[in-house]
Amino acid sequence: MSDPQRQTQSQFGEPAGGLHPLALSVPVAMGYIPLGGVFGFLMMQAGAEWWMPLLASAWLYAGAAQFMMIPLIVGGASLGTFALVALVVNFRHVFYGLSLLHKRPKHPIARAYQSFSLTDETYAVVTTLPAQTPASRLVWVGLLNQTWWLVGTLLGTALGAAGSVQWVGLDFALLALFAVLLVEQLRVHRQFASVAVGVVLYAVFFFTLPQHSLMLAMAATVGLAVAWKPRGTASKEYKL
């Protein structure tokens, strides 16, 4: 494949390479710096060592899943529980990766980092970019996003280490982030039924098997998404 920059002309003749990765990453920075801050802060409040939040943000970098680590650390959960939580929350990343298959950069290290950096926020940014955006740009966006997350984590860790705060409800920030991500997904894809499906499935499992409701709801949603066939679709495209 020749130089992607030269091929990235949209059908209207304008070069699609005009958006600098920094500009694309700023909206995520607006969320990631405070949210990383909340994560670092809450970890310190829960009694973590100073290096734990930074290590989690660098090595794990899972956004939402990092917050779920906090009660696990407080409660002294086993390695198996950690793995299960990571599996449940991150299963959606399998499909994030699937829809970006045509956007892989050429360099192997860049490729590896791209798969690592696919958090919800990075994915949300990346899926709203025009189709001609070169793959390297997606990787830079992912890299910048993690930088913001690390900066936020650092600030929050410093604040949290300074002393404990008596406010409750700060972890609402995570819930707010989920809501914001939901709104942005709906804005781009307009699949409003997906909200109803998710809520109904969760409610079903919440009232029958509350212990595993999150995992079962996620699994059922994935299963439904795979099996759902809009009207008029030829069945032959499901042949593997």
Partner 1 sequence: MGAVTWWLRGLPFFAERWLRDRPIVQRIASFLPAAVMAILVVHSVATGQHHSALWPLPEIACILLVVALQWIGKQALLSILVGTATYVLWMNPSLWLS
Site for partner 1 in 162-191 (CB under 8 A): 166-187, 189, 191
Cβ atoms 57, 41 nearer than 8 A: no
54, 229, 73: which is closest to 147 by C-alpha? Answer: 54
Taking the least distance from each CB to partner 1, the nearer of 44 and 69 is 69
18, 27, 120, 13: which is closest to 66 by C-alpha? Answer: 120
Query: How many residues interact with partner 1 (rule CB under 8 A)?
Result: 87
Selected range binding partner 1 among 40-48, 79-87, 131-139, 151-159, rule: CB under 8 A = 79-87
Taking the least distance from each CB to partner 1, the nearer of 5 and 185 is 185
Cα–Cα distance measured from residue 232 to residue 6, given in angstroms and rounded to the nearest whole number: 38
Residues 74-81: contacts with CB under 8 Å, at least 24 apart:
74/46, 74/47
Taking the least distance from each CB to partner 1, the nearer of 154 and 214 is 214
CB atoms within 10 A of CB 147: 15
Could you say whether residue 111 binds partner 1 (CB under 8 A)? yes
Chain positions 128 to 157 lying near partner 1, rule: CB under 8 A, are none
Cα 76 to the center of its chain, rounded Å: 25
Cα 31 to the center of its chain, rounded Å: 12
Taking the least distance from each CB to partner 1, the nearer of 17 and 155 is 155
Min dist. Cβ of residue 141 to partner 1 (A): 15
127: Cβ–Cβ under 8 A, 6 or more apart, which residues? 99, 100, 188
Chain positions 25 to 64 lying near partner 1, rule: CB under 8 A, are 27, 30-31, 34-35, 59-62, 64
Contacting residue, 1, 51, 236, 240, with partner 1 by CB under 8 A: 240
Could you say whether residue 202 binds partner 1 (CB under 8 A)? yes
Could you say whether residue 94 binds partner 1 (CB under 8 A)? yes
Min dist. Cβ of residue 37 to partner 1 (A): 11
DSSP for 65-92, please give it.
Answer: HHHHHHHHHHHT--HHHHHHHHHHHHHH
Helix, strand or coil for residue 66? Answer: helix
Chain positions 203 to 222 lying near partner 1, rule: CB under 8 A, are 203, 206, 213-214, 217-218, 221-222
CA angle 184, 99, 190 (to 5 degrees): 30
Min dist. Cβ of residue 118 to partner 1 (A): 5
Selected range binding partner 1 among 5-13, 16-24, 133-141, 231-239, rule: CB under 8 A = 231-239
Could you say whether residue 16 binds partner 1 (CB under 8 A)? no
